[in-house]
Chain A
Amino acid sequence: MEERTIIEVDGLVHRYGDFLAVDHISFGVREGEIFSFLGPNGAGKSTAINVLTTLLPIQEGRVVVAGHDVSKNPAKVRESIGIVFQEVTLDRDMTCREILEFHGRLYSMQREERRRRIDELLELVALDHKRDTLTRHLSGGMKRRLEIARGLMTRPRVLFLDEPTIGLDPQTRLKMWDYIKAVNEEGTTIFLTTHYMDEADRLSDRVSIIDHGKIITTGRSYELKNMLGEDLVYLETSDNSATRALLEQLESVTRISEKGHGLVAVVNSDGTRLLPHIMETLGQNGITLETVNLKKPSMDDVFVHFTGKELRDEGAERPVTTAARAGRR
């Protein structure tokens, strides 16, 4: 399949007063893919999405969405995109049908087309039985689905999703991913921002890691993980600094970092074969091994590797994250 670029960003900069929220970012999104911005809260993801969707006037750089320059032709950009905002933006006092009807009218859709599209979408997001229910009576997951349906109402070429599963319970998140994949398979390009590693990992074709307003790296999630080597070995020993010195002599160990009470070694060979050798060497040097763990790199590790820190979560969202992670096991 021919790969065409549907979003082109070149040297985008956005400031709030003195604060540099987006710092010279450039990237491209290919038509038909799911592309993620992964980064902590406050990394500049929402600012970037607001510029791409024309809600914020562009300050510096060039952004082309669906063939239209956001600074020269914002109206054309608006016609080509759908948006699902981070917070719920549904009128509590309107029914599901009215929400979609209002949206269709905003985009000058014809009556007959609106009617047909509302039927299709309510079925797609499994809300046809809630058609005439006020949105105030919907659950969190239903609200999100209705917002996705609304974002798709006008058959946009690109759908922007800003933190699509924030605050949802684990089962609902999984279902939401299925809906997003289904929408993507129908041909809609998806641009999403998230601070959940698993979301970026499992949902997207390509990921950009963004921190402090800068894109740190971009690639397919397995490519990013492979950059870290084959396996990660975690060790807690009686003498970590001596262990470190020993590990540094091993050829297949590419990188060593401290984590908690132990050390993490990134290795570029098969960890299951290397580990007995490491344990033997430690024993010969009189170092007692307390804990050992071997695992494949995850997106978390990728993030730590590229940003040099854990994905920081703001306090308020911690319980959600923990619950969501626990639910995956």
Chain B
Amino acid sequence: MARLGFLTIYWRDMLRFVRFKTVLVSSLVQPALWLAFFGIAMAANFDRLAGSVPTIPGVPVVSYLTYMAAGVIAMTTLFTSLFGGIVLLFDKNWGLMREIMASPLPRNDVIFGIALSGMTKSFIQAGIIMVFGIFIGAEFFLGYSAGQTFISLLGILLFLGIFSLGFLFLSAAISISLESPEGLQGIITLLTMPIFFASNALYPVNAFPPLLQIISGINPLTHLVNGIRFFAIGDDFQSIGIHYTATTGEIALSLCVLAIFAAIMFALAYWRFQKAVVT
């Protein structure tokens, strides 16, 4: 029989996710609100400023709302994934982790189970933002055939999946090593700031100072946003006066960066879990 122990952990986490309607609804509504308020407000400003910049002839123009909707999907995935491991910390503090640690279930299955449920939550949120974004005017999949849209969606899910796994592994590793949820919160806040703002999620990185450009270049969030824009908007467009092109090779490279990041984070989580003693 195939060993599918991680599905047990997955099952329990999803059970609790759908059981609590307030948590469920707020986690789904919150990213939509981000897009609605921040997106529309910023789009109005950026589009007005961009109006004074001459457009490059022959290149499709994309509204700021469309541009940043991809960023909001990425940002939501980042937050959800970084907090995805916190359930392990609560389980540890409430003593529930002991049942799992004293069972024959391999510890890798705990990591995979939690990562898989976190990934599922991210997919649901991303789906909601996309639908809501298109509803308020984000021009995703413009001019795509049904087949192209389907393939693009798969591409987006692939990028989101690998990205969220990386940060979920990191979150699991931190959670199993810490004693208090406050500590985790502190670390996550410390991490999200640079990751979020030193990326191309909300604005172009072209005007960044060189150091910030380097950080942005190795930032997984930047590579996720590259992937989402490539699949949702296209490989050749302009927004807020900047011309974006992407080759398949560049996108493949972005995917590789995410995969390497996820692999390193898994190694970290594996190490922390092997060392973990829960009594």
Which A residues form the contact surface with B (CB < 8 A)?
46, 50, 53-57, 75, 78-79, 83, 85, 87-91, 93-94, 98, 102-103, 105-108, 150
Tell me the minimal C-beta distance from B206 to chain A in angstroms: 48
B contacts with A, residue count (CB < 8 A) = 25
Tell me the minimal C-beta distance from B28 to chain A in angstroms: 19
Q: Is A106 a contact partner of B105 (Cβ separation < 8 A)?
A: yes
How many Å lie between the Cα of A50 and that of B104 in the bound state? 15
Q: Is B94 a contact partner of A89 (Cβ separation < 8 A)?
A: yes
Question: In the complex, which residues of chain B have a beta carbon less than 8 angstroms from the beta carbon of A91?
Answer: 12, 16, 94, 96
Question: In the complex, which residues of chain A have a beta carbon less than 8 angstroms from the beta carbon of B19?
Answer: 93
Q: Is A87 a contact partner of B96 (Cβ separation < 8 A)?
A: no
Tell me the minimal C-beta distance from A7 to chain B in angstroms: 16
Q: Is A106 a contact partner of B100 (Cβ separation < 8 A)?
A: yes
How many Å lie between the Cα of A105 and that of B19 in the bound state? 20
Q: Which 4 A-B pairs have the closest CB atoms?
A: A105-B8, A89-B95, A106-B103, A78-B104
For B109, give the chain A residue with the smallest CB separation.
A106
For B3, give the chain A residue with the smallest CB separation.
A108
Q: Is B95 a contact partner of A88 (Cβ separation < 8 A)?
A: yes
Question: In the complex, which residues of chain A have a beta carbon less than 8 angstroms from the beta carbon of B102?
Answer: 53-55, 78, 83
Q: Is B104 a contact partner of A55 (Cβ separation < 8 A)?
A: no
Q: Is B279 a contact partner of A103 (Cβ separation < 8 A)?
A: no
Question: In the complex, which residues of chain B have a beta carbon less than 8 angstroms from the beta carbon of A94?
Answer: 12, 15-16
Question: In the complex, which residues of chain A have a beta carbon less than 8 angstroms from the beta carbon of B37?
Answer: none
Question: In the complex, which residues of chain B have a beta carbon less than 8 angstroms from the beta carbon of A78?
Answer: 102-104
Question: In the complex, which residues of chain B have a beta carbon less than 8 angstroms from the beta carbon of A46?
Answer: 279
Q: Is A108 a contact partner of B99 (Cβ separation < 8 A)?
A: no
Question: In the complex, which residues of chain B have a beta carbon less than 8 angstroms from the beta carbon of A87?
Answer: 95
For B99, give the chain A residue with the smallest CB separation.
A89
Q: Is A102 a contact partner of B8 (Cβ separation < 8 A)?
A: yes
Q: Is A55 a contact partner of B279 (Cβ separation < 8 A)?
A: yes
How many Å lie between the Cα of A25 and that of B19 in the bound state? 47
Interface string of B6-19 (1 = CB under 8 A from A): 01100110011001
- The interface centre, meaning the residue of A53, A78, A91, A94 with most chain B CB atoms within 10 A of its CB, is A91
Q: Is A93 a contact partner of B104 (Cβ separation < 8 A)?
A: no
CB < 8 Å: which of B11, B16, B103 contacts A107? B103
For B20, give the chain A residue with the smallest CB separation.
A93
How many Å lie between the Cα of A182 and that of B278 in the bound state? 31
Tell me the minimal C-beta distance from B275 to chain A in angstroms: 10
Q: Is A106 a contact partner of B277 (Cβ separation < 8 A)?
A: no
Q: Is A89 a contact partner of B98 (Cβ separation < 8 A)?
A: yes
Interface string of B69-108 (1 = CB under 8 A from A): 0000000000000000000000000111011111111000
